[in-house]
Amino acid sequence: MRESNILRAYGDREGDGMVQMTFTLAILPGDRAREAAKRFAEAHGLADPLVTAMEQVSPEHSYFVVYGRSRHGVDAAAIHVEELAHKPLEREEIEALGKTLGRKVVIVGACTGSDAHTVGIDAIINYKGFDGDKGLESYKCIDAHNLGAQVENDELARRARGVSADAILVSQIITQRDCHKENARAFVELVTREGWRDQVILLLGGPRIDHKLARELGFDAGFGPGTKPSQVAAYVVEHVVERARGKHVRPGVGGAG
């Protein structure tokens, strides 16, 4: 038994379904273009669409802003989402937990393949961290290695094994034509082929990554935009300590959902 809870877009009044859309069409401004934008919005389920802006943005394109009432709703209770099982921990809790291991937790991170954007991996690993949350390097119980950008998969695997990494963080920012997925999947395959997949926790991060996608690609967990270093630290330390205690928890399984 579960209660049905249909969610509708909320604008000014409960159930009004108000949403806004912006898009570009290959047509120049005019009555025909306005009508085209209106129909385009209707085709997306908007009732009473109002075209509030129509401007030429290139020699052959117009840009539109449309408001309308969405006819659609979603049943939140019927949704199953893979969520990270860990609960947020304070720095002191992470350090205390890490101390029980009797050695440092070794974490290696890199932007792999052709990806040269280190903003994400730097924010997670480097001491400075992000938004007041210090990076993995700042934890006494963690030995963090940031390999930087454009690290090939086999290089990452080699370096990670060289320092007996407990966890590997793969950062993928560039997403053109799904190259981030192929590259990430190939890394998991490499580690599996080399026979040490079950000895390491694999994490995937990036603006287009979520836990579900990471799991689909064979990682243990995925971290999307807005992730704080302390969340990654908590996740890794918790799971490494649990593994060391012999309680081999398959990370990511269970939790809400």
Partner 1 sequence: MARVPVDLEKVAHCRELAAAVASDVQSTIDRHTTVGVERTVARAYGVEGADADGRPLANALVDRIHAESSIGHGVAWFLGHALASGAESVQEAAEQLAYGERLPKPGEGSESDEAVRRALLLHTDEALARIDRASEERERRKRTLGLGATPLKYVIVATGNIHDDATQAKAAAFAGADIVAVIRATAQSLLDFVPEGPTTEGYGGTYATQANFKIIREALDAIGPEVGRYVQQTNYSSGLCMSEIAWMAAVERLDMLLNDAMYGILFRDINMVRTFVDQYFSRRVIARSGITINTGEDNYLTTADAVEKAHTVLASQFINEAFALRAGLVPEQMGLGHAYEIDPWREDSFLYEVSQAQLVRQIFDRHPIKWMPPTKFKTGDVFHSHVHDAMFNLAGVMTGQSIELLGMFSEAIHTPLLMDRYLSLKSARYVFNTARHLGDEIQWKPGGIVETRAKETLDKAHTLLSEVERYGIWEAIAHGAFGDVKRTRTGGKGYAGVVPREPGYLNPLLDALESEAPRAPAA
Could you give the residue numbers annotated as active site? 128
From 172, 143, 142, 147, select the one nearest 157 (Cα to Cα).
147
The phi and psi torsions of 3 (rounded to 5 degrees) equal: -80, 135
| Per-position b or e across 37-53, b if 16+ CB within 10 A of its CB | bbebbeebebeebebee
101 or 174: whose CB is closer to partner 1? 174
Smallest distance from partner 1 to CB 176, Å: 5
82 or 115: whose CB is closer to partner 1? 115
49 or 113: whose CB is closer to partner 1? 113
Q: Strands of 62-70's sheet, edge to edge?
A: 18-25, 62-70, 46-56
Report yes or no: 103 and 115 within 8 Å, Cβ to Cβ: no
Assigned token pair, 151 = 């690290």
Assigned token pair, 189 = 């395959």
Which residues form the interface with partner 1 (CB under 8 A)? 22-24, 55, 57-59, 61, 63, 113-119, 122, 126, 128, 131, 148-150, 174-177, 179, 207, 225-226
In angstroms, the CA 217 to CA 105 distance is 24
Which helix (H) or strand (E) covers residue 6, if one does?
strand 6-7
76 or 116: whose CB is closer to partner 1? 116
Smallest distance from partner 1 to CB 124, Å: 13
| Per-position b or e across 211-239, b if 16+ CB within 10 A of its CB | bbbbbebbbbbbbbeebbbbbbbbbbbbb
118 or 138: whose CB is closer to partner 1? 118
In angstroms, the CA 29 to CA 55 distance is 6
**Could you tell me which residues are beta bridge partners of residue 7?**
74
Smallest distance from partner 1 to CB 238, Å: 27
Give the CB-side neighbour count of residue 102, counting CA atoms within 13 A: 2
Smallest distance from partner 1 to CB 52, Å: 14
128 or 250: whose CB is closer to partner 1? 128
Smallest distance from partner 1 to CB 24, Å: 5
Smallest distance from partner 1 to CB 66, Å: 13
